[in-house]
Chains A and B, each alone.
Chain A
Amino acid sequence: MSKTILIVGGGLAGTIVANGLCRQLGSELRTGAVNITMLGTTETHMYQPGLLYVPFGKIREAELFREQRKVLDRRVNFFVDPAKHIDVEKNQVATEHGRTIKYDYLVLATGSRIMPQNIPGMKEAGHWFYDLDGARKLRDAISNFQGGKIIVNVNAPHKCPVAPLEVTLMMHEYLKAHGLWEKSEITYTYPIGRLHALEPVAHWAKPEFDRIGIKYETFFNTESVDPEKKTIKSMEGVELPFDLLITIPPHAGAEVIDASGLGKGGWVPTNPKTLHRDGSTNVFVCGDTTNIPISKAGSTAHFEADVLIDNLVSLVTEGRFARDYDGKVFCFIETGLNSGTYVWFNYTTPPNPGPPSQMIHWFKLAYNRLYWLSARGLL
């Protein structure tokens, strides 16, 4: 009887897993011993890190999108039919369009979403770039900006942990290039007592901010935003005025996870090495969906997906596990409009970012296109 591998979620994590499984299970797919099904929420696949460039006019929107069916191996049964209820006891998923799909192995890759509505006034007064609509609005706000106070406000939890630093440094260079820096002020706020969760990155960022004149307010967890007074207030009791608020809103996981009782906030309790859902032997979790205390980032999803592919293939073909996830994360860091660096770490190796260079920036720009090879499971 054919074994069904069901993947819930068509973002980067689910897509790499689906394509990687197809590449390694060719004969099983040909004979019908295995079938791979994906439930997605949209026909299009978006390159999310590219949204950072939209507000500065540094990427064409068309570069961000591909048809999901063309990114996926044609052997994947792909349905645009979001999961409505996931029943890990009965090994089945019910969908919004009325399907009920039984599975032998389940991969939860439902991702995360921004929740500006969780902070009073943020949706009304804030700008962000973590979705296309927000990035377009921020682009318009920046092009109309004639000087004043800008706040870059970071909230926990959020994905792509270096993006707030990147947008701050890019904004500074944009203002300088447009002759607005002398009339402007940028204040960066961060939830904990330094400028970035990664200590070496924070140690690099602080003198850099001091050198170029970016102000900062640490231990700043947003309580509310006043759209009329144009002020933002922290739980710690600090209130700051702004003319332009660029926020990284708090995130949540997918609603279906919470609604199915699989994890508070949409985050699924997950074994950090095997990527099993806690309490299940045939349910795996990948990407932002896990509750593992590591960065929610595309590279995390990618490295987890590589491990999941090997383990699912080994389980299907040999009945054994292949290897553990070692916590690897790799992030490019844009340090302006023309320079960049990178950082990598895992569960046992601390991060150690190198000096920024133009070449790393160019490599990041190249990766913006190479991404589609990653999603296809080729890179």
Chain B
Amino acid sequence: MAERQTIDARGAFCPGPLMELIAALKLAQIGDEIEVLSSDKGSVNDIPAWVTKVGHANVGTTEKDGYWSVVVKKAK
């Protein structure tokens, strides 16, 4: 059954939101969703761009109170 996990990478300088996502995707099953919370606005572009490039799915990006939620689904 598909799972959903949240990575709270707000304020994380190293390794940062995208690197955390890459590591989490390696452990996820196809169909699992991963939500990344990031206070770095760059994540709003970086994460979806990389996800599209490698063939996973962008579920959505939402602006919250001072941070962003980026949800990704493992597709392969």
A187 within 8 Å of B (CB atoms): no
Q: Is the CB of A197 within 8 A of B15?
A: yes
Q: Is B2 an interface residue (CB 8 A)?
A: no
Checking A199, A221, A329 against B54 with a beta-carbon cut-off of 8 angstroms, the contacting residue is: A221
Residue tally, chain B, CB below 8 Å to A: 21
* A197–B22 CB distance below 8 A: no
Give the A interface residue count (CB, 8 A): 27
Whether A198 touches B14, Cβ cut-off 8 Å, given contacts A192-B46, A219-B50, is: yes
Nearest CB on B from A305, distance (A):
19
List chain A residues, Cβ under 8 A from B9: 293
Question: Using a Cβ cutoff of 8 Å, how many contacts connect chains A and B?
Answer: 69
Interface SS of A by simple majority? loop
Of the listed stretches A75-83, A102-110, A343-351, A367-375, name the one at the interface; the rest are far from the partner chain: A343-351
Residue of A nearest to B11 (CB): A347
Flag if B53 contacts A156 (CB, 8 Å). no
By the criterion CB–CB under 8 Å, are A157 and B19 in contact? yes
Closest to B17 in A: A293
| Interface residue ranges, B against A (CB under 8 Å) | 7-9, 11-20, 22-23, 26-27, 46, 50, 53-54
Q: B14: which A residues are within 8 A, CB to CB?
A: 161, 197-198, 294-295, 329, 345, 351
Mark out the residues of chain A between 274 and 293 whose CB falls within 8 Å of any chain B CB in the assembled complex: 293
Asked if B53 and A219 sit within 8 Å, CB to CB, the answer is yes
Report whether A157 and B50 are in contact in the complex, using a CB–CB cutoff of 8 Å: no
Per the 8 Å Cβ criterion, residues 225-240 of A in contact with B are 235-236
* B11 CB contacts on chain A under 8 angstroms: 327, 347-348
Residues of A within 8 Å of B19, CB to CB, are: 156-157, 191-192, 197
Nearest 3 CB-CB pairs, A to B?
A157-B23, A293-B12, A197-B15
Tell me if B20 and A293 are in contact (CB < 8 A).
Answer: yes
Question: Which of A264, A265, A295 makes the CB contact (< 8 A) with B15?
Answer: A295
Residues of A participating in the B interface, judged by any CB pair closer than 8 Å: 118, 156-157, 161, 191-193, 197-199, 219, 221, 235-236, 250, 264-265, 293-295, 327, 329, 345, 347-348, 350-351
Contact status B53-A351, CB under 8 Å: no
User: Within the complex, what minimum Cβ distance (angstroms) separates A235 from chain B?
Assistant: 5
Asked if B13 contacts A345 (CB within 8 A), the reply is: yes
B13 contact set on A, CB distance < 8 A: 197-199, 294, 345, 350-351
| Cβ contacts A to B, 21 pairs, < 8 Å | A118-B26, A156-B22, A156-B23, A156-B26, A157-B15, A157-B20, A157-B23, A192-B19, A192-B50, A193-B50, A199-B13, A219-B53, A221-B22, A250-B23, A265-B23, A293-B7, A293-B17, A294-B14, A295-B14, A350-B13, A351-B13
A191-B12 in contact (CB<8A): no
Residues of B within 8 Å of A264, CB to CB, are: 27
Q: Is the CB of A192 within 8 A of B7?
A: no
Q: Within the complex, what minimum Cβ distance (angstroms) separates B53 from chain A? A: 5
| B43 CB, min distance to chain A CBs, angstroms | 10
* Bound: A9/B40 CA distance, A: 35
CA distance A329 to B22 in the complex (A): 22
Chain B nearest CB, measured from A293 CB (Å): 4
Assess the A236–B46 pair: CB atoms within 8 A.
no
B67 to chain A, nearest CB (A): 13
Check if A197 sits within 8 Å of B16, measured CB to CB. Answer: yes
